[in-house]
Amino acid sequence: MRILIVGNGGREHALAWKLRQSPKVKDIFIAPGNGGTALEGTNVPIAVDDLPALVAFAKEQGIDLVVPGPELPLVLGIKDALDLAGIPCFGPNAFAAQLEGSKAFAKYIMEEAGVPTAAFGVFNEFEDAREYVLNVGAPIVVKADGLAAGKGVVVAQTTDEAITALEEIMLKQAFGSSGAHVVIEECLVGEEVSFIAFCDGKTVKPLPSSQDHKAAGEGDTGPNTGGMGAYSPAPALPADRYDEIIDLVMKPVCETLGRKDKPFIGILYAGLMMTAKGPYVLEFNVRFGDPECQPLLMRLHSDLAEVMMACVQGRLAETPLEAKPETTLGVVVAAEGYPGSYPRGMEISGFEEAETVPGVKVFQAGTVLDNGVTRANGGRVLCVTALGATLAEAQKRAYEGVAKIRMDKAYYRRDIGFKGLR
């Protein structure tokens, strides 16, 4: 098989690394890729949102499967464009991808499917939204409707804070057209977990649970980021509850989309809040989480290429999906200042030394290979990921790996996995 992966993050390095392990895979191309993907395959200088160029490249190269990593190409309709060209794509059509592309769309689908989620209102006028906040009170959650790179959500503790968020999103257009509509919802209390599953339109098969750390600072303080680390499994969602989530959340959503003749194929990721009343869905993503992808793919025992093709061909039911029993944990090494402004161009070394720690793999994210030298080229630079018999062992190994990485102006959280170790 010849595979084209779309994206340039740590998730895409992990996808390339895992797909390369398949005896079915001959060639891997990554568009545009990063310093890490260059070690697993061939980087191609095409932007993730340049659908015509991606489709043309896939045609020219006789690509057997396209694997979009981030949400943007999926929401823009890469699957639909590839369908027209007769090229298989592991990912949902543009309609189904609105589960992530529009928070309001996701809420309406959940309502229709009977999936538990927070009470909400959807607004496109600032005054109406403001009035709703004043009527409902705080704490309350304000979300930009469209894509905002994981940064369009404000959990407001006071009505003033909520109204400031509405001003930023709706009046100052902090997220551009993504904030033309807002979703305002009740604030749920509990523990957040990620539940990520493969879907072929009918069958749903989950990966183990995981937990992301979105806040920039230790103890979950500071601004939200794309994610500063993750581990799997999450004790808040043990394996004996996976079937409950599939029946309560995943299958009803897939069936609702199927009835609309828009079957969901690819990765369905439910961001859940485990509350005293049971699990509630906070949001859906239509692709692997980043950084959850890195620890999850380290645990995946099955052939990823085989599982992805089974989803595309509608035969997931008879395809095994097996995970290793160990725990995995990944620590994101970011550039100082992230998620605000941060420096670029710092030289990075120590990969080989880090990988001498048992069970450690370093996935590259915001990096570029510059004449044989790896340099920082983004906010989240690396994800040092480790496999261990227990969460404590995986955590210890990951931080031992981080200690061996040499990079100026590096920042990382020192408490990844703390909730699972309480």
For residue 376, pLDDT over 80 is answered with: yes
For residue 151, pLDDT over 80 is answered with: no
Q: Is domain 191-318 given the CATH code 3.30.470.20 in the classification?
A: yes
State whether residue 418 is helix, strand or coil: helix
State whether residue 331 is helix, strand or coil: strand
Mean pLDDT, residues 31-52 taken together:
98
| pLDDT tens per residue across span 152-177 | 888 999 999 999 999 999 999 989 89
For residue 223, pLDDT over 90 is answered with: no
Could you give the dihedral angle defined by the CA atoms of residues 332, 333, 338 and 341, in that order, rounded to the nearest 10 degrees? -140
Using pLDDT thresholds of 50, 70 and 90, give the confidence band for residue 150: low
Mean pLDDT, residues 56-68 taken together:
99
pTM greater than 0.85 = yes
Percent over 90 (pLDDT), the chain: 95
Q: What kind of fold does domain 2-91 have according to CATH?
A: Rossmann fold (3.40.50)
Q: What pLDDT score was predicted for residue 152?
A: 85
CATH classification code of 327-421: 3.90.600.10
| pLDDT tens per residue across span 70-92 | 999 999 999 999 999 999 999 99
Q: What kind of fold does domain 125-180 have according to CATH?
A: Dna Ligase; domain 1 (3.30.1490)
Q: What pLDDT score was predicted for residue 415?
A: 98
For residue 332, pLDDT over 90 is answered with: yes
| CA separation for the pair 387, 370 (Å, rounded) | 30
For residue 149, pLDDT over 80 is answered with: no
Mean pLDDT, residues 229-257 taken together:
98
Look up residue 161 and give its two tokens. Answer: 């804070």
Q: What pLDDT score was predicted for residue 81?
A: 99
| CA separation for the pair 66, 54 (Å, rounded) | 9
Tell me the CB-side half-sphere exposure of residue 345, using CA atoms within 13 A: 1
Mean pLDDT of the chain: 97
For residue 200, pLDDT over 90 is answered with: yes
Q: What pLDDT score was predicted for residue 255?
A: 98
Q: Please give the distance of CA 278 from its chain centroid, rounded to a whole number.
A: 23
Domain ranges, ordered by start, for the chain = 2-91, 125-180, 191-318, 327-421
Look up residue 68 and give its two tokens. Answer: 């979009």
Mean pLDDT, residues 32-37 taken together:
98
Measured CA distances, 161 to 118, 126, 158, 227 (Å):
19, 14, 5, 23
Cβ burial, residue 125 (10 Å; 0-12/13-18/19+): exposed
